[in-house]
Structure 1
């Protein structure tokens, strides 16, 4: 049975640098979130002006940017390698031979079974050259091309590494709901979120002074006002759920701060006062469900002398202890308690994430101001998955990032206008509120 001859090195290069749609060398290559690359014009034809299309290679659903295919990232490495390949002697020689019609033809001579190269020409007697001798100049050129390919690839990869890193967003599906307004299902700055074990999303709708409830598919279910007492309501800053399924909400009126426990229908069960400070709108809440303790962030001082801390309360509002004062936190913005009971705090003022054990002992912190992969700028919401990976709403960089449980950067999860709060469902769905767009996103694999 005959087998196909292996591709030459030159042919392998050309195949690697060819668009799988048009089968030609890439022209203005664009890279999709799944990292597959195609020609700019091929993607325009393939997408056919649809907002969503499937990758021709892996069938991942891709949402086009507002400005269409032009808004997709350029693949600078592939562009550079295509230019190099087109400038190579082999490519020019192949074009010249193709235009002249003098195409090399390799055959076997029956008498000696040695592969030889026949140069077709107008001469009736074709000179016969042994294959090894005929291949030598082309092999030398291919070796040179391989070296240029590797060298140029290393240079371009080093130069575009940070760019590629920033583009490497997980290819997740997304549900989007909300919009600005006062009607059911709309928001006036969604600032906090939590997800129940049965998959209901509770969103703190700050400007509308209410908690709204949705399914993981974005279907509106219900709402209740964040009542303090009587007719008085407060602006909710954050929401968390305890082990009984009740909701803890922290917020403030125009003159006081509160921590209030509601039923899922909005009935007030417990209420305690919080210190009314200049930074009261940065308070957040989490629940240690193992102990049923309520944790609230607090910032004291002025802009020149900020002191951040975490207050730990019993479920009846009794203050137990204060965490994090000695670590120099400035503006602890959001807080989360993971499955092991560790306390994770985002410090908006220090552009860092602080981690404490369940008893409040400091373990480590990570992050610094910047826009590189492991850096943060004005971090807000934090949560964890079942493996302990930490998700951070890096609001200043307009990203949601994923770190391992030791604070090492893993990947970018999403890009949004102004990510604020994050919450993880038991099913692995990641909920992200966007302050700037007044929307909520649910990301899932």
Structure 2
């Protein structure tokens, strides 16, 4: 297997290389024949002309008005090239960096000697005293030996899957060649049939024109004969009249001699009938009633193809200490904040109104052309994992979720003060505590990923708080293994915050609400930071946002914010200009009640966790309601999306379950510390679940608390 990686890398390079410059694509453009080339290569090829031939298939290409720049972008190829270049750059930097031995990334002065079996990470002695206090540990050598037997099969399996995909890509190249040849043959057959039919039509045309000409000639001959006859009579009459008139002027003798001749001529024509009209028979063309001749029919012929390897359905070899996902079928749902639900959906074609059921996962490429019709029902595939508690893979209020390009799910586990990492199949991978500095931890509000693949987490001081003291609040950047990269202090507010990454500009956006909750005197806005933590600007102060909570940035850079108290979503342009808002309090189609999590897909459709209505909604990019994605959740909190290069989308929902008593305690700030102490002391959550609609109760309780404060 030693040469496998380099061989695979070479084959991937070949698939993503321009056939003109033989380098990785740079700003790849797609021709009408579906072949892809670099924009600069096409500019050099086209020159100043408006047409040129495709270098691969020789098909004539007519450029749009904008030239080569107006050709469609190949976004998938561009993204894959960018990822490949980043990987190569990272590998190069890793080779150049001096090796630090077994030093701890959190405590560089300490050497890593142990392995935390609960968090699945190497730790040093200081780590054991801080974030891993009380966790079971083992030696590094023993942990490595235990993991080696499971990691190597996973590597082999991954290589095999890659081989399958590369074989599939090779098959696509061969099929493309066969399709080009078949298309050429089909075109030649169409042209040949057309030419034959044109020849027959030409012969028929010439025959009909000949018949028309013959008929026309006969009519002209008939008219000429009659014309000659009448002209002879006219000449005779004219001559007789002219002679009589001339003799009339010469004398009486000449007049008397000419009278007899004139009388005879006039008498001859007096009793003769006048000329009758000439009967002609002009030719008239009568086209047949038959439609335009049909050359033939082009029928789709299905060619055999290699199936796409369904890696999503491959169960990975379990890693020791990784718990099996808890689902509704395998274990009862605890009463505390519990599961994360991953739903795999097919891509949604632009311009189609979706039916009440979500389409099932398909093997079509993202952005495919599938249609959803009529009364078809497709049930999305679901994977539920989690469980209430503080153990590995369990949650205590999962408030945020994001997905990396590699398909790892990062869950912000609020009161367990940690980030947990899972695969798309729900298998636990690792976790790390949300340490700020000096062992201080924070309670989490939300998590997002920036352009470099690092995590940004917003939260507050995790020490026990009182009802009169505001906690410190932070935005902390971690790498994917949990190492603190930078920290930004935020203004104290005691309001929940959301965070999002603008990957186009590498900016970080954080929501902020200021004001007293019980007096309803609060306003919200969005803070835009550079990646170094410098505040750039604020957005949304003029629109009257009351409680902006979750936030996302779409592929065009537009900013979307859910307002928990105004029951709507605000949409701004990348420069902060207000575009529109949608929603409004209610439970009907297009209405929202306490919206929380929000994200967008590749087509610009907007997915909103309609928390108060216990559902997840989808709107198009122009705010038109499309469908209910799911309506069977308790308290959908956060949503995120993972776009597969092959296979569609995965929407991820953080769902929360709480008892009535817990809601009452949470909304009474004086009991906040009591709740924290109770759960930390007992180490578990209550197992009784009050079968009520907790969202309705919590908002009623919240209003009652406000009235009590006013009194």
Aligned to 2:656, which of 430, 435, 438? Answer: 435
Q: Which residue of 2 aligns with 1:234?
A: 442
Alignment of 1:83-94 (within 5 A): none
2:510 alignment partner in structure 1 = 296
Which structure carries more helix by proportion? 2
Structure 2 match to 1:426:
643
Q: Specify which structure has the higher proportion of strand.
A: 1
Is residue 2:473 matched to residue 1:285? Answer: no
Structure 1 stretches of 5 or more lacking a match?
1-62, 65-166, 439-445
In the other structure, the counterpart of 1:247 is: 455
The aligned runs of 1:340-419 (5 Å cut-off) are 340-415=556-631, 416-419=633-636
Residue in structure 1 matching 2:429, options 221, 224, 236: 221
Displacement of 1:402 in angstroms is: 0.4
1:269 matches 2:457: no
2:526 corresponds to: 310
Offset of residue 278 of structure 1: 3.2
* Secondary structure at 2:643 match in 1: coil
Query: 1:381, 1:392 within 8 Å by CA — same for their partners in 2?
Result: yes
2:555 and 2:615 map into 1 onto residues whose CA distance is: 24
Number of equivalences: 273
C-alpha distance after superposition, 1:162-183 (max 9, x if no partner) = xxxxx93422111000010111
What's the TM-score, normalizing by structure 2? Answer: 0.38
- Aligned equivalents of 1:358, 1:420: Cα separation in 2: 25
User: 1:276 deviation in Å?
Assistant: 1.1
Give the 5 Å matches for 1:16-55. none
- Structure 2: gaps of 5 or more residues: 1-327, 330-354, 359-378, 466-470, 659-684, 686-711
Deviation, 1:419, is: 0.1
Distance 2:440 2:480 in 1: 19
Aligned to 2:414: 206
Aligned-residue RMSD, C-alpha:
1.8
| Shift of residue 435, structure 1, vs aligned partner | 2.1
In 2: Cα distance, 1:238 partner to 1:187 partner: 14
Task: Provide the residue aligned with 2:294 in structure 1.
Answer: none
Partner of 2:472: 256
Q: What secondary structure, in the 3-state scheme, does the structure 1 residue paired with 2:612 have?
A: helix
CA displacement at 1:302 relative to structure 2:
1.9
Could you give the per-residue CA deviations for residues 170-225 of structure 1, whole angstroms, max 9, x where no partner exists? 22111000010111110001000000011100000001000000011101000000
1:322 counterpart residue number: 538
- In the TM superposition, what whole-angstrom CA distance separates every residue of 1:258-280 from its partner, at most 9, and x where no partner exists? 0000010111001011111132x
Contact 1:278–1:302 under 8 Å retained in 2: no
Equivalent in 356, 364, 383 of residue 168 of structure 1: 356
* Alpha-carbon distance between aligned partners in 2 of 1:417 and 1:169, rounded to the nearest angstrom: 19
Matching of residues 123-162 of structure 1 within 5 Å: none
Larger radius of gyration: 2
Distance in 1, matches of 2:619 and 2:504, equals 24
Contact 1:209/1:235 (8 A) holds in 2: yes
CA distances 1:376-413 after superposition (whole Å, capped 9, x unpaired): 00000000110000000000000000000111110000
Between the aligned partners of 2:557 and 2:475, the Cα distance in structure 1 is 21
In structure 2, the residue matched to 1:122 is: none
1:333 to 544, 549, 554: 549
Shift of 1:230: 1.6
What is the CA deviation profile of residues 117-149 of structure 1, one whole-angstrom value per residue up to 9, with x for unaligned ones? xxxxxxxxxxxxxxxxxxxxxxxxxxxxxxxxx
SS of the residue corresponding to residue 542 of structure 2 reads helix
SS at match of 1:326: helix
Distance 2:556 2:523 in 1: 27
Q: Distance in 1 between matches of 2:651 and 2:446?
A: 17
- Of the structure 1 ranges 252-261 and 373-382, higher mean CA displacement relative to structure 2 is found in 252-261
Equivalent-residue separation in structure 2 for 1:372 and 1:315 (angstroms): 40
> C-alpha distance in 2, partners of 1:244/1:168?
37
Higher relative contact order (CA 8 A, sep 6+): 1
| SS at 1:421 equivalent | strand
Report the 3-state secondary structure (helix = DSSP H, G, I; strand = E; otherwise coil) of the residue aligned with 1:429.
Answer: strand
4+ long deviations beyond 6 Å: none
